[in-house]
Chains A and B, each alone.
Chain A
Amino acid sequence: MTATPLLDIRDLRKIYKTRRGWPIPKTALVRALDGVSFTVGRGEALGVVGESGCGKSTVARVALRLQEADGGAVQFDGTDVLAAGKTDLRTLRRRMQMVFQDPASSLDGRQRIIDALGEPLRVHGIASGAAVKPAVVRLLDEVGLPPSAVDRYPHEFSGGQRQRIGIARALALGPDLIFADEPVSALDVSVQAQILKLLETLRRERNLAFVFISHDLGVVRYFCQRVVVMYLGRVVETGPVPEIFVDPLHPYTRLLKLSSPEPDPARAVAMAFQEGEPPSPVDPPSGCHFHPRCPIAVDRCRTEAPALRELRTGRHAACHLAT
């Protein structure tokens, strides 16, 4: 971690309201983000892992102001993101970008590649007129696509190629930080490796920071330097790779580790934990959200939510029992 982090997320909250029921609808609150805090340094790849529905995508969307937060603070390089006005936000957009999970849905099917990649350049006044095409070709080259791609439509490309286009679009404005929301989950395993290598190269060459959202521990282990583990809208553990996977402090991280298969036939996948779905975020368990599935839970876990504590240097966990 650097002294002043590039991105500093503090106590971020996002609550969704759902009204259900008949004849008298009840308003239920879904705490998608329930006080999430973490930091990302320059050029650092931070992994955010957790089961689906734990709020890991919401972090990215709120930090990018695609959705408005309900509390907390997001600082990007000293700028308050959540309070940024129109002009500041525009500047921030150039420095924070996003790569989406499904490249088929994240590209406008009616736009040729030259327009899809040229439009951000023109909108932000980075290039105009005849300068757009060479800039687009440079971007394509950086993500490993030939110049001939410019006149094609997104549907003419394979999934991996489309994801490269999505990455090129995120690079177009020259960002310092990219939120990558499950960027390889929709791809074949062989293609995943190529895309990860590309991201790794970009990280080194451009000194890009990443918030890498994934449920695939293997991918996170390869790509990230640090990991944030989320469970039902809360951070349960943070720490550097590989320590966090070698010696997980939080029982949930242990569960994740155990349920992620290792390519070693000698080591059978151990399922010692209670299996089952994570509880509904509409009505999360009291105390520590994880206690119904936790093998070591004690009475205190059922009543008192554990705070994130520093247990080792640079390693935090939110568990009453972890030492």
Chain B
Amino acid sequence: MSAPAPTAAAPRSSAFGRATRSGGLALGVLIVVASIAAAVAAPWIAPFDPNAQDVLLVLSPPDTVHPLGTDAFGRDVLSRILWGARISLYVGFVATLAGVVIGTVIGVVSGYYGGLVDRLVVAATDVLLSFPQLIMGLLLVAVLGASLTNLIIAIAVTAVPAFIRMARGSTMAMRERDFVDACRALGYSDMRIMFLHVLPNILDELVVMASLWLATAIRTESTLAFIGLSVPPPTSTWGGIVREGFDNLLDAPWMSIFPSLAILAVMIGLNLIGDGLRDATDPRSPQ
């Protein structure tokens, strides 16, 4: 709790102030926004059709026409990365969003009510979390079949237990606070207390974790694409481009290096955002 100051600044502005003062967060936002912008604008800024083959320019190193070179089919790597960003980022965002929403709702309800249902949820969560996240995604895609929707479902499912656990823990901590009892004494419905009072108070932590999970989701998609369990070719995704370049890694390293750098940049950007947000929302961080 903040020091008793009757006329202090509004809380939003102080959190916002802390957020903007941290350079890492700004840099992270810049990288991620730039990536999203590039993905959205791909149809207009990509110099070539990502799937247009040019047999005369196979495995061409970077030059002025193809700034990131071409692949084994003569396709422009830059265009493929830009178009691939659409799939990779889309899958990452949608899967994380679904995972956050489903996991949070289950976690808040389970943590709020407790009891037998809560125990079952915890048990189920523990089972799901005992699988390494990648194995889980792999398993699901293998069972469901590789398609865009299944990929999103698989990655979302791996995110759900983590968010259940987090939302449940935070909700239980909030339940100990008197304001939840005050709400109950005022006759508010459980729904109102859970989603209008508990949820806003745990949102900070959820947003921080979501930004870090977004990085994980994008990485998982890339990994699954690398082992061929993503959207079928010729559609490009970042992991898929790395994989395609892998066969010619020694002759034409640019094919794998550039999409890898794109993945790396987005990972770093999202982690910077996550850390920056955590610092900004932590009242103990230095002013």
Contacts and interface: CB of A to CB of B under 8 A. Distances in A.
Given A155-B1, A156-B7, A158-B6, A123 B187 contact: yes
A161 B6 contact: yes
A278 interface: no
Contacts of B6: 156-158, 161
Interface string A44-70: 000000000000000001001010000
B248 to A, nearest CB: 55
Interface string A153-169: 10111110100001001
A106 B4 contact: no
Contacts of A155: 1-2, 8, 11
B177 A90 contact: no
Interface in A85-132: 89-90, 93-94, 96-98, 100-102, 104-111, 119-120, 123-124
Interface in A143-157: 153, 155-157
Interface residues of B, number: 24
B5 interface: yes
B1 A93 contact: no
A256 B195 CA distance: 44
B28 to A, nearest CB: 25
B4 A159 contact: yes
Contacts of A308: none
Given A123-B192, A156-B8, A61 B201 contact: no
A156 B5 contact: yes
A106 B182 contact: yes
B181 A110 contact: no
Nearest to A124: B187
B1 A108 contact: no
A255 to B, nearest CB: 30
Contact of B177 (A97, A105, A120, A124): A105
B186 A123 contact: yes
A173 interface: yes
Contacts of A66: 181, 184-185
Contacts, number: 78
Contact of A93 (B2, B179, B187): B187
B182 A100 contact: yes
Nearest to A161: B6
A108 B197 contact: yes
Interface string A70-85: 0000000000000000
B4 A93 contact: no
Contacts of B201: 108-110
A110 B184 CA distance: 17
A105 B178 contact: yes
B22 to A, nearest CB: 22
Contacts of A109: 11, 201
The CB with the most chain A CB atoms within 10 A, among B177, B184, B187, is that of: B187
A107 B186 contact: no
A214 B201 CA distance: 30
A123 B188 CA distance: 7
A93 B192 CA distance: 16
Contact of B200 (A90, A96, A110): A110
Interface in B1-25: 1-2, 4-8, 10-11
Nearest to B189: A123
B8 A98 contact: no
Contacts of B185: 64, 66, 93, 96-98
Contacts of A97: 185-186
A105 B187 CA distance: 18
A89 B184 CA distance: 11
B275 to A, nearest CB: 23
Contacts of A89: 187
The CB with the most chain A CB atoms within 10 A, among B1, B8, B188, B200, is that of: B1
A102 B181 CA distance: 12
Given A107-B179, A123-B188, 20 more contacts: A90-B187, A93-B186, A93-B187, A97-B186, A100-B178, A105-B179, A106-B177, A106-B179, A108-B183, A108-B201, A120-B187, A120-B188, A123-B186, A155-B11, A156-B5, A156-B7, A158-B5, A159-B4, A166-B182, A169-B186
9 contacts: A66-B184, A66-B185, A97-B186, A98-B181, A100-B178, A106-B179, A108-B183, A110-B197, A120-B186
Interface of A: 61, 64, 66, 89-90, 93-94, 96-98, 100-102, 104-111, 119-120, 123-124, 153, 155-159, 161, 166, 169, 172-173
List 6 A-B pairs, minimum CB-CB distance, nearest first. A93-B187, A106-B178, A158-B4, A110-B200, A100-B178, A104-B1
